[in-house]
Amino acid sequence: MLATTLLTFALASCAFAYPSYRTCDISNASIAYPEGASTLPAPINKPSYVAVAIGTQNYTCSAAGTYNLVGAVAELYDTSCLYNTPLFSKVATRAYKAWKSAPASWTPQKAIRLLYPTPAALGQHYFVTNPVTGVGSSPKWDFTSTGATKGNANAYVVAAKNTGLAAPTGAQDIDWVYLKSVAGSLAQEVYRVDTRGGQPPASTN
Protein backbone atom coordinates (compact mmCIF):
# COMPACT_ATOMS: atom_id res chain seq x y z
CA MET A 1 0.00 0.00 0.00
CA LEU A 2 1.19 3.47 -0.84
CA ALA A 3 0.32 6.48 1.28
CA THR A 4 0.54 9.92 -0.27
CA THR A 5 0.47 13.16 1.67
CA LEU A 6 -2.91 14.81 1.73
CA LEU A 7 -4.24 18.11 2.97
CA THR A 8 -7.75 19.35 2.33
CA PHE A 9 -10.22 21.90 3.55
CA ALA A 10 -13.65 20.60 4.44
CA LEU A 11 -16.70 22.79 4.58
CA ALA A 12 -19.59 21.06 6.32
CA SER A 13 -23.13 22.29 6.56
CA CYS A 14 -25.49 20.80 9.06
CA ALA A 15 -28.10 21.33 11.73
CA PHE A 16 -25.62 21.00 14.60
CA ALA A 17 -25.01 24.10 16.71
CA TYR A 18 -21.62 25.75 16.53
CA PRO A 19 -19.11 24.28 19.00
CA SER A 20 -19.30 26.03 22.37
CA TYR A 21 -15.63 27.08 22.27
CA ARG A 22 -16.00 29.01 19.04
CA THR A 23 -16.63 32.75 19.11
CA CYS A 24 -16.59 33.38 15.36
CA ASP A 25 -19.47 33.20 12.90
CA ILE A 26 -18.96 31.32 9.62
CA SER A 27 -22.61 31.21 8.58
CA ASN A 28 -21.74 33.21 5.46
CA ALA A 29 -18.51 31.38 4.62
CA SER A 30 -18.05 30.45 0.97
CA ILE A 31 -15.52 28.64 -1.19
CA ALA A 32 -12.90 30.69 -3.00
CA TYR A 33 -12.33 29.45 -6.55
CA PRO A 34 -9.38 30.55 -8.69
CA GLU A 35 -10.37 32.85 -11.54
CA GLY A 36 -11.78 30.89 -14.46
CA ALA A 37 -12.27 27.67 -12.48
CA SER A 38 -15.53 25.76 -12.59
CA THR A 39 -17.51 25.56 -9.37
CA LEU A 40 -19.29 22.99 -7.27
CA PRO A 41 -23.02 23.22 -6.46
CA ALA A 42 -23.92 25.89 -3.94
CA PRO A 43 -24.64 24.56 -0.44
CA ILE A 44 -28.25 24.08 0.60
CA ASN A 45 -27.46 24.94 4.21
CA LYS A 46 -25.20 27.39 6.01
CA PRO A 47 -21.82 25.94 7.03
CA SER A 48 -21.10 24.82 10.57
CA TYR A 49 -17.44 23.87 10.20
CA VAL A 50 -14.44 24.88 8.15
CA ALA A 51 -11.67 22.38 8.82
CA VAL A 52 -8.21 21.47 7.66
CA ALA A 53 -7.56 17.75 7.25
CA ILE A 54 -4.01 16.42 7.42
CA GLY A 55 -3.13 12.84 6.62
CA THR A 56 -2.67 10.39 3.77
CA GLN A 57 -4.50 9.23 0.67
CA ASN A 58 -3.98 5.47 0.34
CA TYR A 59 -3.55 3.44 -2.84
CA THR A 60 -2.77 -0.12 -3.85
CA CYS A 61 -0.74 -0.99 -6.94
CA SER A 62 -2.02 -3.65 -9.32
CA ALA A 63 0.10 -6.18 -11.18
CA ALA A 64 -0.44 -4.04 -14.27
CA GLY A 65 1.21 -1.11 -12.55
CA THR A 66 -1.87 1.00 -12.00
CA TYR A 67 -2.89 2.64 -8.74
CA ASN A 68 -6.26 2.16 -7.10
CA LEU A 69 -7.57 4.40 -4.34
CA VAL A 70 -8.50 2.40 -1.24
CA GLY A 71 -9.21 5.20 1.21
CA ALA A 72 -7.73 7.93 3.34
CA VAL A 73 -6.78 8.56 6.95
CA ALA A 74 -6.68 12.12 8.26
CA GLU A 75 -7.09 14.24 11.36
CA LEU A 76 -9.31 17.31 11.20
CA TYR A 77 -8.78 20.63 12.95
CA ASP A 78 -11.15 23.56 13.20
CA THR A 79 -9.97 26.54 11.15
CA SER A 80 -13.32 28.30 11.18
CA CYS A 81 -12.02 31.31 13.10
CA LEU A 82 -9.28 31.85 10.52
CA TYR A 83 -11.87 32.45 7.84
CA ASN A 84 -11.74 36.05 6.56
CA THR A 85 -8.27 36.58 8.05
CA PRO A 86 -5.03 37.04 6.05
CA LEU A 87 -3.77 33.65 7.26
CA PHE A 88 -6.69 31.66 5.87
CA SER A 89 -5.55 31.73 2.24
CA LYS A 90 -2.10 30.51 3.28
CA VAL A 91 -3.02 27.69 5.67
CA ALA A 92 -3.35 24.94 3.06
CA THR A 93 0.03 25.52 1.44
CA ARG A 94 1.89 26.08 4.70
CA ALA A 95 0.33 23.10 6.44
CA TYR A 96 1.01 20.84 3.47
CA LYS A 97 4.67 21.83 3.41
CA ALA A 98 4.98 21.28 7.17
CA TRP A 99 3.33 17.86 6.97
CA LYS A 100 5.26 16.72 3.89
CA SER A 101 8.62 17.65 5.41
CA ALA A 102 7.81 16.40 8.93
CA PRO A 103 9.72 13.44 10.40
CA ALA A 104 7.90 10.12 10.20
CA SER A 105 7.38 10.18 13.97
CA TRP A 106 5.33 13.40 13.87
CA THR A 107 1.58 13.42 14.32
CA PRO A 108 -0.69 15.68 12.26
CA GLN A 109 -1.29 17.75 15.40
CA LYS A 110 2.40 18.46 15.78
CA ALA A 111 2.61 19.60 12.15
CA ILE A 112 -0.43 21.87 12.36
CA ARG A 113 0.87 23.45 15.56
CA LEU A 114 3.73 24.97 13.58
CA LEU A 115 1.13 27.22 11.99
CA TYR A 116 -1.72 27.30 14.46
CA PRO A 117 -0.47 27.01 18.09
CA THR A 118 -3.73 25.83 19.68
CA PRO A 119 -5.69 23.92 17.03
CA ALA A 120 -9.07 22.61 18.12
CA ALA A 121 -9.28 18.92 17.15
CA LEU A 122 -12.58 17.99 15.52
CA GLY A 123 -12.20 14.32 14.69
CA GLN A 124 -11.01 11.83 12.13
CA HIS A 125 -11.61 11.09 8.46
CA TYR A 126 -11.39 7.55 7.13
CA PHE A 127 -13.29 5.08 4.97
CA VAL A 128 -15.89 2.49 6.00
CA THR A 129 -18.01 -0.12 4.23
CA ASN A 130 -20.78 1.55 2.27
CA PRO A 131 -23.71 1.63 4.73
CA VAL A 132 -26.34 1.63 1.97
CA THR A 133 -25.16 -1.23 -0.27
CA GLY A 134 -22.82 -3.09 2.08
CA VAL A 135 -20.34 -3.23 -0.81
CA GLY A 136 -17.36 -0.99 -1.44
CA SER A 137 -16.23 1.86 0.77
CA SER A 138 -17.43 5.35 1.64
CA PRO A 139 -15.73 8.33 3.29
CA LYS A 140 -16.61 9.03 6.92
CA TRP A 141 -16.02 12.12 9.03
CA ASP A 142 -16.12 11.02 12.65
CA PHE A 143 -16.40 13.62 15.43
CA THR A 144 -17.68 11.21 18.10
CA SER A 145 -14.50 10.86 20.14
CA THR A 146 -12.79 14.26 20.00
CA GLY A 147 -13.45 17.89 20.78
CA ALA A 148 -16.76 19.57 21.51
CA THR A 149 -18.84 16.69 20.11
CA LYS A 150 -17.02 13.95 22.04
CA GLY A 151 -19.47 11.37 23.32
CA ASN A 152 -22.19 12.27 20.82
CA ALA A 153 -22.84 9.02 18.98
CA ASN A 154 -24.51 10.87 16.10
CA ALA A 155 -21.61 13.26 15.46
CA TYR A 156 -20.47 11.62 12.25
CA VAL A 157 -21.35 11.64 8.59
CA VAL A 158 -20.82 9.01 5.92
CA ALA A 159 -21.17 10.70 2.56
CA ALA A 160 -21.37 9.90 -1.13
CA LYS A 161 -19.83 11.95 -3.89
CA ASN A 162 -22.38 14.04 -5.73
CA THR A 163 -20.08 15.85 -8.12
CA GLY A 164 -16.48 16.98 -8.42
CA LEU A 165 -13.94 18.85 -10.48
CA ALA A 166 -10.24 18.57 -11.16
CA ALA A 167 -8.34 20.60 -8.58
CA PRO A 168 -7.91 24.08 -10.06
CA THR A 169 -4.67 24.33 -8.07
CA GLY A 170 -2.95 21.77 -10.31
CA ALA A 171 -2.79 18.13 -11.39
CA GLN A 172 -0.68 17.25 -8.34
CA ASP A 173 -3.70 17.82 -6.07
CA ILE A 174 -6.68 15.50 -5.68
CA ASP A 175 -10.06 16.55 -6.98
CA TRP A 176 -12.36 18.96 -5.22
CA VAL A 177 -15.64 17.21 -4.44
CA TYR A 178 -19.11 17.87 -3.14
CA LEU A 179 -20.67 15.05 -1.12
CA LYS A 180 -24.07 14.42 0.41
CA SER A 181 -24.81 12.53 3.60
CA VAL A 182 -26.04 8.94 3.48
CA ALA A 183 -25.68 8.22 7.22
CA GLY A 184 -25.04 10.10 10.45
CA SER A 185 -26.15 13.49 11.76
CA LEU A 186 -22.94 15.53 11.70
CA ALA A 187 -23.57 17.15 8.32
CA GLN A 188 -25.88 17.07 5.37
CA GLU A 189 -23.23 18.25 2.90
CA VAL A 190 -19.44 18.13 2.80
CA TYR A 191 -17.08 19.96 0.46
CA ARG A 192 -13.49 18.78 0.02
CA VAL A 193 -11.72 21.76 -1.47
CA ASP A 194 -8.38 23.61 -1.57
CA THR A 195 -6.54 20.29 -1.68
CA ARG A 196 -2.80 19.80 -1.61
CA GLY A 197 -1.21 16.55 -2.74
CA GLY A 198 -2.95 13.21 -2.46
CA GLN A 199 -2.35 12.01 -6.03
CA PRO A 200 -0.47 8.73 -6.61
CA PRO A 201 2.99 8.87 -8.19
CA ALA A 202 3.10 9.18 -11.94
CA SER A 203 5.07 5.93 -12.19
CA THR A 204 5.33 2.67 -10.22
CA ASN A 205 9.12 2.73 -10.66
User: How do residues 102-137 score in pLDDT, each as one tens digit?
Assistant: 888 888 888 888 777 777 889 999 999 988 888 889
Most confident of 13-27, 41-55, 93-107, 161-175: 161-175
**DSSP letter at 198?**
B
Q: Is residue 117 part of a domain?
A: yes
167 contacts 195 by C-beta, under 8 angstroms: yes
In this structure, is residue 203 part of a structural domain? no
Please answer whether residues 143 and 120 qualify as being in contact, where contact means their C-beta atoms are separated by less than 8 angstroms: no
Does residue 140 fall inside a structural domain? yes
Whole-angstrom distance, CA of residue 184 vs CA of residue 123: 14
Asked if the structure places residue 157 within a domain, the reply is: yes
Has residue 19 been placed in a domain? yes
Cα 196 to its chain centre, rounded Å, is 11
Q: How many CA atoms lie within 13 A of 16 on its CB side?
A: 23
How do residues 151-190 score in pLDDT, each as one tens digit?
A: 999 999 999 999 999 999 899 899 999 999 999 999 899 9
The 10 Å Cβ neighbour count of residue 108 is 25
Residue 105 domain-assigned?
Answer: yes
Q: Is 151 part of any domain?
A: yes
How far is Cα 39 from Cα 138, in angstroms, rounded to an integer? 23
91 assigned to some structural domain: yes
- C-beta of residue 7 within 8 angstroms of C-beta of residue 195: yes
Number of domains forming the structure of the chain:
1
**Residue range of the domain that includes 24:** 2-197
